[in-house]
């Protein structure tokens, strides 16, 4: 057996791209290839702001990061998500700053949103027109035509909130920024003796909505996003323009190809429409809760 730091390695293993070393006293460490070279700056920023809930390597080299192995708690996704929300809101509360709004960049972002919506409308209108002129439709085409109104409703709603967001933003001088994890999702969060964010290679200063948008898109099928968002807003309340920006980024649908028609493509298309319906339900129920609290 090979000896390292007065301990003998009795077993090598792998967890995806991570190397696991087990010593003769059953202690384990994880070794991760280093992908980014300003990690020390990320760790210093978090330490300077008293952020403790991130997994910091005990050894850093030019090529690898060494972590102590942690045994995860046996929790359901909804439980893990609540832990994640607590730590995310703590991170944001401790790192909030205000930055001056660049009006040129703001207008460019507004135009990009509108252009994306217009392009999607044209794409789906054309696709619908081609399909409806066919004598026989494939299963995917039939599924698309039956549900295409959901796409148009979503795009119309997206356009309205883009305009509402821009009307608020163009009259503001500053907006809030926070330190973002960059890959905020259940797979990058560990509940052990403490709670930790992992995989911080993409951490950066960004808009307050960035991490929850990423979390929503990655885990909307894995946990109750409405209750997560309610807890999140209790701990880090969005301003109106921030909430609108969140909605813009979760409602504008992607461009989906329905060809070639197959069972797999039908499943993909069904999931696409289910996602649009889920987004609508999330917004409606959250707005109902907001109105209830405002009227009481």
- Residues 37-59 have pLDDT tens digits of 789 999 999 999 999 999 999 99
Contact 152, 124 (CB under 8 A): yes
Domain spans, the chain: 93-287
Q: Identify whether 260 is preceded by a cis peptide bond (ω within 30 of 0).
A: yes
Answer whether 0.75 is exceeded by the pTM. Answer: yes
3-state helix, strand, coil in the chain (%, to 5): 55, 20, 30
Per-residue pLDDT of 278-292, as tens digits, reads: 999 999 988 775 554
279, 222 in Cβ contact below 8 A? no
Q: Do 1 and 10 touch, CB atoms closer than 8 A? A: yes
Query: What's the CATH number for 93-287?
Result: 3.90.1200.10
d(CA 296, CA 294): 6
pLDDT score of 3: 40
Distances in Å between the alpha carbon of 214 and those of 182, 186, 191?
Answer: 8, 11, 19
Q: Name the token pair of 228.
A: 């997560």
Higher model confidence: residue 179 or residue 290? 179
Q: What would the pLDDT profile of 151-169 be if each residue is shown by its tens digit?
A: 999 999 999 999 999 999 9
Mean pLDDT, the chain, as a whole number? 91
Provide the 3-class DSSP secondary structure of residue 55.
Answer: coil
Confidence check: pLDDT of 293 > 60: no
149 pLDDT tier (thresholds 50, 70, 90): very high
pLDDT tens figures, 13-35? 777 777 887 776 667 888 888 88
* pLDDT tens per residue across span 205-222: 999 999 999 999 999 999
């Amino acid at each position: 057996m090979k000896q390292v730091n007065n301990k003998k390695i009795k077993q090598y293993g792998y967890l995806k791209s991570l190397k696991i070393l087990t010593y003769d006293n059953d202690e384990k460490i994880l070794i991760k290839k280093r992908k980014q070279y300003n990690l020390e700056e990320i760790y210093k920023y978090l330490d300077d702001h008293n952020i403790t809930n991130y997994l910091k390597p005990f050894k850093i080299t030019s090529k690898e990061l060494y972590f102590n192995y942690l045994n995860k708690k046996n929790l359901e996704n909804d439980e893990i998500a609540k832990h994640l929300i607590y730590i995310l809101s703590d991170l944001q509360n401790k790192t909030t700053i205000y930055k001056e709004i660049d009006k040129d960049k703001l207008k460019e972002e507004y135009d990009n949103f509108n252009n994306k919506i217009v392009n999607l409308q044209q794409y789906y209108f054309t696709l619908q027109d081609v399909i409806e002129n066919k004598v026989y439709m494939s299963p995917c085409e039939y599924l698309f035509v039956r549900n295409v109104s959901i796409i148009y409703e979503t795009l119309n709603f997206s356009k309205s909130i883009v305009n509402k967001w821009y009307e608020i933003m163009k009259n503001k001088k500053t907006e809030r920024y926070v330190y973002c994890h960059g890959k905020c999702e259940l797979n990058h969060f560990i509940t052990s003796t403490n709670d930790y964010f992992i995989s911080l290679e993409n951490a950066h200063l960004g808009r307050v909505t960035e991490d929850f948008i990423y979390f929503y898109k990655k885990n909307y099928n894995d946990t109750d996003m409405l209750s997560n968002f309610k807890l999140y807003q209790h701990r880090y309340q969005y301003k109106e323009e921030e909430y609108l920006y969140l909605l813009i980024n979760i409602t504008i649908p992607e461009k989906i190809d329905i060809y070639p028609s197959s069972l797999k493509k039908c499943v993909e298309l069904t999931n696409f429409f289910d996602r649009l319906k889920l987004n609508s339900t999330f917004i409606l129920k959250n707005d109902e809760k907001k109105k209830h609290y405002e009227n009481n």
